[in-house]
Amino acid sequence: MLQQEFIISTKEKWNHFISRSLHTELYHSWNYHVLDKSGEPLLYVYGEEEVFIALPLIKRKIKDSPFFDFSSVYGYAGPVSNVSFESLPESTMENFKAAFISFMKHEKCICVFSRLNPFINQRKLLERIGGIYENGKTIYMDLSTPQEEQYANYEKRLLRQVKQLRKKNYVIKETMTQDDIRCFCEMYWDNMKRVNASNHYFFTREYFTTLLDTTAENSKLLMIYDSATPICGAIVFYSKDVIRNHLSATSEAYLKDSPSKLLTDEISQIGRRLGVKYFHLGGGVGGREDSLFQFKSYFSHTSMLDFTWRFIGDQEAYNSLVEICGLKQADKTNFFPLYRSAQLADAIS
């Protein structure tokens, strides 16, 4: 049996494998990965005969250490293949495991963390490599159902509010102008300050401009205006199967009017026009059933479990880094890898 491995870090070859995969989203793309400045983007590809498995990763240097680790981009990536993971032979999955662990050793990467895509059964492949961890519930709408059924699932008060918002003279537009991008950036930054978000959520204007420019085939900037005043907006990602509100913001002056409810409803309408099957609303912060989760649940009662993948390839090196930080493996925290936890950012980053 012919077995092959490829380590890809160029756009043309990256896109070659992603475009041939069964189920992919913008989160798997080269253009999205190169925007992540936390490390080096690479696509690990393992193949047998006509079958391949492609795993996009970010390789990050561990400060004051000869080691690296692997992580995933912000969003829902994880492995993809040109066949369904359910149909992969057991031998192929075991061979992938052995090859990937060997690859990690060669790259001096001691562990890997990745958020998984809830619409792809990636757990079938990865549950044999380290562990699969629940990350709470994630909410979605089935846009293949009739519009009336979608609205029947809205919380009654929410449906009234959406109808009232649609009667106002708000202007909803899909846009790519620099002025609209600037308005969205300013609203977004104000939102992040208001909720005391971590620094890594404060994306620059250049980031937003490049993101929308390089992913234009699968993204939109959706803005809502009250006359000339921007009041709400979102960067929307979509594939052939799924549409998502990737990042959104609301003007503080309009919070009481909740234009984000109109925005969410409008994204569902865009999804229907595009022929997309699912609108993935997501879950709460850190997988918790918090106020954000409750807001999303007003739109749909349909949910599934969200998962992350974690694997330690070099336990000795991992333990050593944790000890340097003054922690123990038994410490009660869900953060992974432990040596990169937020409170230790000044020690190792």
What distance in Å separates the CA atoms of residue 343 and residue 17, rounded to the nearest whole number?
A: 38
Cβ atoms within 10 Å, residue 18: 18
Could you tell me if 80 and 23 are in contact, meaning their C-beta atoms sit under 8 angstroms apart?
Answer: yes
Instruction: Say what the pLDDT of residue 200 is.
Output: 80
Domains observed in the chain: 3-129 (3.40.630), 139-305 (3.40.630.30)
CA angle, 134 as apex, 282 and 301 as ends, to 5°? 40
| Interacting residues of 284 by C-beta distance below 8 A, sequence separation 6+ | 136, 290, 291, 292, 293, 294, 296
Q: Collect the ranges in the chain with pLDDT lower than 70.
A: 1, 328-333, 342-349
Predicted pLDDT of residue 349: 39
d(CA 264, CA 259): 9
Q: State the pLDDT at residue 348.
A: 42
Report the pLDDT value the prediction gives residue 343, as an integer from 0 to 100.
45
Cα separation of 204 and 37, whole Å?
12
What pTM did the predictor assign? Answer: 0.92
pLDDT of residue 209: 95
Q: Tokens 């997501």 correspond to what residue? A: 282
Q: Which residue shows structure tokens 């390789």?
A: 59
**pLDDT computed for residue 331 by the predictor:** 58
Give DSSP secondary structure letters for 22-73.
Answer: SS--GGGSHHHHTT-TTSEEEEEEEEETTEEEEEEEEEEEPTTSS-EEEE--
* Nearest-angstrom CA–CA distance, 143 and 241: 10
Fill in the amino acid letter for 268. Answer: S
Choose among 59, 54, 71, 69: nearest CA to 120: 54
Peptide bond into 146 cis (omega under 30): no
